[in-house]
Amino acid sequence: MPHTPASTRTTVRRGANRAVYDDDRIRSILSAGLIAHVGVATADGPIVLPMAYGVRPVVASTSDGDADGGDGHEVLVHGAVANAMLRAGRTVDVCVTVTIVDGLVVARTPFHNSMNYRSVVIRGTATAIDDPDERLAALRVINDHIAPVWDTARPPSASDVKKTLVLAVPLTEASAKIRAGDPIDEDGDMDGPHWAGLVPLGTRWGEPTTAADLRCDAAVPDAVSALAGRDAHAAN
Amino acid sequence: MPHTPASTRTTVRRGANRAVYDDDRIRSILSAGLIAHVGVATADGPIVLPMAYGVRPVVASTSDGDADGGDGHEVLVHGAVANAMLRAGRTVDVCVTVTIVDGLVVARTPFHNSMNYRSVVIRGTATAIDDPDERLAALRVINDHIAPVWDTARPPSASDVKKTLVLAVPLTEASAKIRAGDPIDEDGDMDGPHWAGLVPLGTRWGEPTTAADLRCDAAVPDAVSALAGRDAHAAN
């Protein structure tokens, strides 16, 4: 992948030493995340809502026309909540933020306490996917983001697809921030009496449980049982 | 606590059966969360950033004057990133969203796939805390949100406090959404051949690790060692 420079809007102004803009790193974090927090500006103030998402190579018809988008990727966000964001029309300016918390950073002084984390901030224009076939394809990408369960389920009906809004946002204005490792304290505190260190945060999928109302004898799909015991935020 | 009705801005329009507005429930979710996603509208589009936060009873001087705030609580968000949000002045409209993912919901059809989650959405005016003593007190609330490590660290210097911006947002326009339990499928799918169930997501603190550059023989503070093995999102 070509390196994508951050746009002026997504240049990380603080903690720039923690900022990375490499496309593969950005997509790796997006792949390891579970939900996105999507922000829009509304007439009565900003609103931020959690949403399922997925990432795929840009489909020409969902491109916002930015030449950079042509050979790049896009994030797809899903959820009827998006309806509220689109009262103005078929496109809306959004910020899509995905954050993974990896641990607590305990410094010698609270001023330097922090978290270890991986985050991606994507700013851009979200475009609703209108074509039913394209929407179906986009829904599959979102559906299979955490586990590929699409193929073992009853396919969506045409009306299911019609009822589900999907937005595409090009990954052309994306920045990533990663904070890892020990606390960084001030020289004046290094000979002090205070402890410093990390507390890692582990996020793992548990054993699947079958719905109480399942009437058939269907086995747990492989894609679902494969999650058990897995680090939910494993880098890849 | 008195029940706080949702404002029109925070009324949950979809999945209303999942919506709860009880103050104690809202604060329980905020207590179980680790980071907030804070959204603001800027001249060049919305932006959503992850931030540390804390919750406390409203301090009169940080109240935005809303009478409801007087006997309520406020969320404090921290981080110099907030500077970018305050170019316009000492207050800014924000949306503070805290989301905890509890598991993956696998339905008989992708249209009903979901996540089990707990989330709180707070909309309101964020006010910068200017008074140094009040800011110090607010920083302590944020610092101790995950673990009370303030007392075992070197106290912040006056310049530390000066450099750290803290915003207070009253919890008067807050709504909570909780999704728990098995998937809910359509009657027509109940006799089908497809599996349905849950995959729980567990989030636990690991064993603390001491910083490689620690020169003193300070023991791991009790507040830190107490995290080890704990459910990081335990309801309380």
This complex has an ipTM of 0.90
Residue A224 has pLDDT above 80, yes or no: yes
Give CA–CA dist A147/A31, Å, rounded.
11
Distance, C-alpha A58 to centroid of its chain: 16
A66/A198: higher pLDDT: A198
Chain A, nearest residue to B175 by Cα:
A49
Strand partners, B176: B20, B120
Band of residue B62 on the pLDDT scale cut at 50, 70, 90: low
Task: Provide the CATH number for the domain formed by A8-225 in this structure.
Answer: 2.30.110.10
**pLDDT of A1:** 26
Give CA–CA dist B149/A199, Å, rounded.
12
B50, B94, B209 ranked by CB distance to A197: nearest: B209
Give CA–CA dist B41/A91, Å, rounded.
16
**pLDDT of A14:** 43
Q: Taking residues A147-162, report their average pLDDT.
A: 93
Neighbours of B236 (CB within 10 A): 6
Strand partners, A105: A114, A198
Report residue B203 as tokens: 């989030």
DSSP-based helix, strand, coil % in chain A, nearest 5? 25, 35, 40
Q: Taking residues A127-137, report their average pLDDT.
A: 92
B110, B203, B208 ranked by CB distance to A199: nearest: B208
Helices and strands counted in chain B (H then E): 5, 11
Alpha-carbon separation of residue A153 from A5, A213, A232, B111, B192 (angstroms):
40, 16, 22, 10, 10
Ramachandran angles phi, psi of A40, nearest 5°? -135, 155
**pLDDT of A83:** 60
Ramachandran angles phi, psi of A34, nearest 5°? -110, -45
DSSP classification of residue A104: E
8 A C-beta contact, residue B142 and residue B218: no
Chain A, nearest residue to B207 by Cα:
A199
Residue B86 has pLDDT above 70, yes or no: no
CA distance B31 to chain A (A): 16
Task: Give which of B86, B78, B73, B80 is closest to B52, Cα–Cα.
Answer: B78
B123, B191, B204 ranked by CB distance to A47: nearest: B123
Residue B2 has pLDDT above 50, yes or no: no
- Contact criterion met (CB < 8 Å) for B154 and A109: yes
Band of residue A35 on the pLDDT scale cut at 50, 70, 90: very high
Report residue A65 as tokens: 């026309």
Q: Taking residues A41-61, report their average pLDDT.
A: 88
Task: Give which of B180, B176, B226 is closest to B28, Cα–Cα.
Answer: B176
Helices and strands counted in chain A (H then E): 5, 11
Helix (H) or strand (E) holding B114: strand B114-128
CA distance B210 to chain A (A): 4
Find the DSSP H helices in chain A: 23-32, 82-85, 132-143, 158-163, 222-225
A86/B94: higher pLDDT: B94
Report residue A229 as tokens: 């015991």
8 A C-beta contact, residue A102 and residue A200: yes
Radius of gyration of chain A (CA): 20
**pLDDT of A61:** 60
A80/A13: higher pLDDT: A80
DSSP 3-state assignment of B125?
A: strand
B49, B80, B104 ranked by CB distance to A121: nearest: B49
From the candidates B14, B111, B114, which should be mutated to test the interface with A, based on the most A CB atoms within 10 A?
A: B111
Band of residue B4 on the pLDDT scale cut at 50, 70, 90: very low
Residue B218 has pLDDT above 70, yes or no: yes
Chain A, nearest residue to B203 by Cα:
A203
**pLDDT of B225:** 98
A69/B34: higher pLDDT: B34
Give CA–CA dist A56/A59, Å, rounded.
8
Residue A81 has pLDDT above 80, yes or no: no
CA distance B98 to chain A (A): 9
CA distance A61 to chain B (A): 23
Token pair 């949306």 in the structure block, residue: B95
Outline where DSSP puts E strands in chain A: 19-20, 36-42, 45-51, 53-57, 73-78, 91-106, 114-128, 166-170, 174-179, 197-205, 209-210
Ramachandran angles phi, psi of A78, nearest 5°? -130, 155
**pLDDT of A19:** 65
Q: What percent of chain B has pLDDT over 70?
A: 81
Alpha-carbon separation of residue B35 from A116, B54, B89 (angstroms):
12, 9, 25
Residue A221 has pLDDT above 90, yes or no: yes
Task: Give which of A224, A204, A205, A203 is closest to A148, Cα–Cα.
Answer: A224
A204 CB neighbours in chain B (<8 A) are 201-202, 204
